[in-house]
Structure 1
Amino acid sequence: MLYLVPTPVGNLEDMTMRAIRVLKEADFILAEDTRTSAPLLKHFGIAGKVFAHHQHNEHKAVAEIVRFLQAGKKVALISDAGTPAISDPGFLLVREVIKHGLEVQCLPGATAFVPALVASGLPCDRFCFEGFLPVKKGRQTRLKSLAGETRTLVFYESPHRLIKTLDEFIQVFGAERPASASREISKLYEETRRGTLLDLKLHFGTHPPKGEFVVCVQGYGV
């Protein structure tokens, strides 16, 4: 069995009892960054064998992991924070494991965009998760394709690109489009700013962005 195990995006209390049990029982733990995961695993007394599994080695590692699973091993995949495969490595492995007729189980748990979306005050019955936009090639094409999207749009963004991204959103979606920007989800300085895209740009123009962001933008014509 391959287990996809969510880990806290901030507060360690967000770790579930089931996630701790599965990681303790796993024969191998695949971590996006073993250095990042080490304090978490130590905190919960998890001492399994940990191997790196990230975007630079996942293509090469998949075949070997499949062999472990075929031999009856329990393998758990974790990312640095949140649910594996959501803007993190995992999809390629899941697809290959399924292709070989092996079992995959994803535990419910922490992810950054759900609390940000629910707390945004924007419609969340239907939404479009875009994650990180392309940094260069295809960025404007992607944005323009979303201009008429009626569902709430959800993006991930880093602090050093936030103001530029808000500028681009204003150009494509309009300055008065309602939006929210949440940072440091489940951490000590968690904060959500709400208003128009212009409001957000003006705020972060005078309050330098810190921490990773989830930006929610109301859909067109809502």
Structure 2
Amino acid sequence: MLYIVPTPIGNLEDFTFRGLRILKEVDIILVENYKISRKLLDFYKIKNHISRYHIHNEHKVIPHFIKKIKQGKKIALISSSGTPGISDPGFLLIQSCIQASISIECLPGPTALIPALVTSGSPINEFTFIGFLPKKKRKIKLENLSKENRTIVLYESPYRLLRTLNDIKYFFGLKRNIVVCKEISKIFEKISRGNIEDIITYYKNMKKVLGEYTIIIEKCISK
């Protein structure tokens, strides 16, 4: 059995009882970042065996863990925070388990996507989740998204936030409002709503842009 276990994206109280139980019961916990996960597991007094699983080694280690599961071991996958597979490693392992007829159990739990959508006030009966914009063909992606008639959700790092906001201004124009959610579920959580120019000005005036961001772009009403 492979368990996909979401972990808190900020407040440690966001962990589910079920998630904690499973992490205590499995034989191996696969972690994206050893230091971050060790801190979390120590907080909850979870002493199970830890192995590293991340984008730089996943192709190499997947056969080993598939073999372990086939031998009867229970393995849980966690990322640094949130739900594995959502802009985090996990897809290849899940796909490999499916191909190997291994059962997969994914727990519901923390992710920045849903709280950001709900608090944005934008229509969410239909939405498009992009995650992080691609490094290649970024302009083509943004141009296509500018024609999207559903609410759009992006993830962004502090290092590229202003660049992305300026790209949104260029490709989407000035008529659409956006919502920028900073550090959801953390101490410095902040929700900024309004016109793209106002949001850009706000972040330009910051001494240093820190934190992780979820950007909500309202849907295109008409072209």
Q: What corresponds to 1:119 in structure 2?
A: 119
Aligned counterparts, 1:181-200, within 5 A: 181-200=180-199
Q: CA deviation at 1:107?
A: 0.3
CA RMSD, 1 decimal: 1.0
Q: CA deviation at 1:102?
A: 0.8
Q: CA deviation at 1:82?
A: 0.1
Q: What corresponds to 1:76 in structure 2?
A: 76
Q: Is the 8 A contact 1:122 1:179 kept in 2?
A: no
Within 2, Cα distance between the matches of 1:38 and 1:121? 36
| Equivalent residue letter for 2:15 | M
Within 1, Cα distance between the matches of 2:159 and 2:195? 20
Q: CA deviation at 1:147?
A: 1.4
Within 2, Cα distance between the matches of 1:79 and 1:176? 37
Q: 1:114-160 CA deviation, whole Å, 9 max, x = no partner?
A: 1111101111111111000023x211111111111111100011112
Within 2, Cα distance between the matches of 1:186 and 1:147? 29
Q: What corresponds to 1:27 in structure 2?
A: 27
Q: What corresponds to 1:128 in structure 2?
A: 128
Within 2, Cα distance between the matches of 1:125 and 1:209? 32
Q: What corresponds to 2:147 in structure 1?
A: 148
- Which 4+ residue blocks in structure 1 deviate beyond 4 angstroms? none
Gaps (5+ residues) in structure 1?
Answer: none
TM-score by length of 1: 0.97
Within 2, Cα distance between the matches of 1:121 and 1:200? 16
SS in 2 for 1:82: coil
Tell me the percent identity: 45
Q: What corresponds to 1:180 in structure 2?
A: 179
SS in 2 for 1:187: coil
Q: What corresponds to 1:105 in structure 2?
A: 105
Within 2, Cα distance between the matches of 1:89 and 1:203? 33
Q: CA deviation at 1:179?
A: 0.7
Within 1, Cα distance between the matches of 2:27 and 2:159? 39
Q: What corresponds to 1:4 in structure 2?
A: 4
Within 1, Cα distance between the matches of 2:165 and 2:30? 35
| Equivalent residue letter for 1:179 | I
Q: CA deviation at 1:176?
A: 2.2
SS in 1 for 2:192: strand
Moved more, 174-183 or 10-19: 174-183
Q: CA deviation at 1:6?
A: 0.3
Q: CA deviation at 1:209?
A: 2.5
| Equivalent residue letter for 2:22 | V
Q: Is the 8 A contact 1:82 1:111 kept in 2?
A: yes
Within 2, Cα distance between the matches of 1:101 and 1:160? 41
Within 2, Cα distance between the matches of 1:189 and 1:76? 30
SS in 2 for 1:20: helix
Gaps (5+ residues) in structure 2?
Answer: none
Q: What corresponds to 2:201 in structure 1?
A: 202
Within 1, Cα distance between the matches of 2:107 and 2:198? 37
TM-score by length of 2: 0.97
| Equivalent residue letter for 1:181 | V
Q: What corresponds to 2:164 in structure 1?
A: 165
Aligned counterparts, 1:86-105, within 5 A: 86-105=86-105
Residue correspondences, number? 221
Q: 1:90-127 CA deviation, whole Å, 9 max, x = no partner?
A: 00000000011110110000001111111011111111
